[in-house]
Amino acid sequence: MKFGLFGSAQAKRGGGPDVDSAKGYHDWLEFNIEAEALGYHSAFAVEHHFTGFGQVSATINLLTYLAAQTTTLRLGTAVMVLPWHNPVLLAEQAATLDLLSGGRLDFGVGKGYRYNEFEGFGIPMEEAGERFEESLDVLIRAWTKDEPWSHKGKFWNFKDIIVEPPTIQKPHPPFWMGAGNPKTIDGVAARGCNLLLDQFAPVKVILERIEMFRNAVEKRGRIFNPNEVGVARGLYVAKDFSDRDSAIERRIAARARVDNLAQRPDGANKSSIMSYDDTAETAMEAALFGTVDEITEKVSKLREGGVRYLLLSDGGSGIEGLRKFSREVMPVFIDSDTAEAAE
């Protein structure tokens, strides 16, 4: 199995001259730099806007800074929301990161799901799908065309352009797409892209989605590779059961705060990531919260279901939790995979 990270930094606003707004970002950088030394494969960073609690907004910038301080860590976006971006400018920025990092970019993209972000940008959520598809087509052309090209679309027009710099990865960095319902999962397979699955879905739902993706890939005559499915899971290495239960309560409260930003005034946001109930039982079942033994058992269940790539989102146990997971959980699954391959 492979293990990476998924998450966000936070920069506090206000509070006077004694508040170091950069501290949260520097803590995130140190967290990921040590993760590379501990054997983690990747770091995926979110893109969010207008939250009031400082989630990462300039994702490419942050990952470029991380690239300069690491050598092997894959650098992922999870996800760049294409409806909000000029696709040519985004292609240039992402290609620059790929170039400077030596080809370590994993380019995660999505349509977005938070109402407050679309409202803030003045973009109707109803346009998200069309904007996403057009921008994705432009990105691919931007990275693969060596001669001048033009594009005249519904949302974007470009005339006689060559996008620079080139990417190191050819034909372009791997695309990773967030998806949850059968139609969008099939669309990821149709595009030949990798799949990102969210951290809130119960295990049964995750395994069903992987099987959908496998079927969609194989019906198109391609070989399914489980390493091309990244499954995000919250991680909290607890001291005991009481500590675990308190962490679950904090997780539920944090998710409610995000759902309030995401929901439309008419309550009509039906995004799959918002479809799970917010009970302690559901949160506990989905997240890797617990003692080392509990977490190991949960990872075993995921592995038995076909998961080979886990992206861990820090649920509050911080760098100590990451260290403990790397010492006491990761070797179980890396060693078992090595033994399996040798048979």
CATH assignment at residue 330? 3.20.20.30
pTM over 0.85: yes
Encoded amino acid at 224, one letter? F
Question: What pLDDT score was predicted for residue 257?
Answer: 86
Encoded amino acid at 323, one letter? R
Q: What is the pLDDT along the chain (343 residues), one digit of tens a residue?
A: 999 999 999 887 766 666 677 889 999 999 999 999 999 999 999 999 998 887 899 999 999 999 999 999 999 999 999 999 999 999 999 999 999 999 999 999 999 999 999 999 999 999 999 999 999 999 999 999 999 999 999 999 999 999 999 999 999 999 999 999 999 999 999 999 999 999 999 999 999 999 999 999 999 999 999 999 999 999 999 999 999 999 999 999 988 888 888 888 988 888 888 778 778 999 999 999 999 999 999 999 999 999 999 999 999 999 999 999 999 999 999 866 655 654 5
Maximum Cα interatomic distance, the chain, rounded to a whole number of Å: 62
Q: Where are the beta strands (DSSP E) in 10-125?
A: 42-45, 74-77, 80-81, 105-110
Question: What pLDDT score was predicted for residue 268?
Answer: 85
Find all residues with CB under 8 Å of 326, minimum gap 6, and list them.
3, 38, 39, 40
Q: How many domains does the chain have?
A: 1
Find all residues with CB under 8 Å of 144, minimum gap 6, and list them.
171, 172
Question: What pLDDT score was predicted for residue 16?
Answer: 62
First to last CA, the chain: 16
Q: Where are the beta strands (DSSP E) in 74-215?
A: 74-77, 80-81, 105-110, 149-152, 157-161, 175-178, 194-197
Question: What pLDDT score was predicted for residue 271?
Answer: 85
User: Residue 89 and residue 325: Cα distance in Å, rounded?
Assistant: 38
Question: What pLDDT score was predicted for residue 216?
Answer: 98
Encoded amino acid at 81, one letter? V
Q: Where are the beta strands (DSSP E) in 192-238?
A: 194-197, 229-237
Q: Which domain holds residue 193?
A: 2-342
